[in-house]
Amino acid sequence: NAGVTQTPKFQVLKTGQSMTLQCAQDMNHNSMYWYRQDPGMGLRLIYYSASEGTTDKGEVPNGYNVSRLNKREFSLRLESAAPSQTSVYFCASSEFPGWEAFFGQGTRLTVV
C-alpha cells in the first residue's frame, strides 16, 4: 500500500503564480489534513476535512484553498503564491478525527 501520496515533491514558483498540491490516500480514511512545516515552528494546520464533503480552516488558512474531491483525494491550492508560503507541505489522513494521522512524504515549495 502506498499510504498517503503527495505530488509534486518539489516545486519552485514565482510570486503571484498559482498551483495545486495533490494528495491521495488509499487507506479508506475519513479525515484528511494539510500542514505546513517551517523551521522552528513545528507543524501548523492549514485546512482539514473531517469527512468527505466537509472542509474547515485550521490555524493558518490565509492564502490557501482546499477541495475534498472524493474520499481519497484532498488538494491544496495557492491562488497567488507569496514568498511567505515557502515551506514544506504535508498531507495527512486518519481514520477518524483524533486518531493517529499518517503523513505523506511532503512537498518542498519555494516561492521566489
Partner 1 sequence: AQKVTQAQTEISVVEKEDVTLDCVYETRDTTYYLFWYKQPPSGELVFLIRRNSFDEQNEISGRYSWNFQKSTSSFNFTITASQVVDSAVYFCASYSGAGSYQLTFGKGTKLSVIP
Binding site for partner 1 (CB under 8 A): 31, 33, 40-45, 48, 50, 56, 58-59, 88, 90, 92, 97-103, 105-106
Give min distance, CB of 19 to partner 1, in A. Answer: 20
Amino acid letter at 74?
A: F
Q: Which three cell numbers stand for residue 47?
A: 485546512
d(CA 97, CA 74): 15
> Judged by CB, which is closer to partner 1: 81, or 104?
104
> Judged by CB, which is closer to partner 1: 13, or 46?
46
Q: Under a CB-based contact definition with an 8 Å cutoff, are residues 16 and 112 in contact? A: no
How many other C-beta atoms can be found within 10 angstroms of the C-beta atom of residue 54?
11
Give min distance, CB of 31 to partner 1, in A. Answer: 7
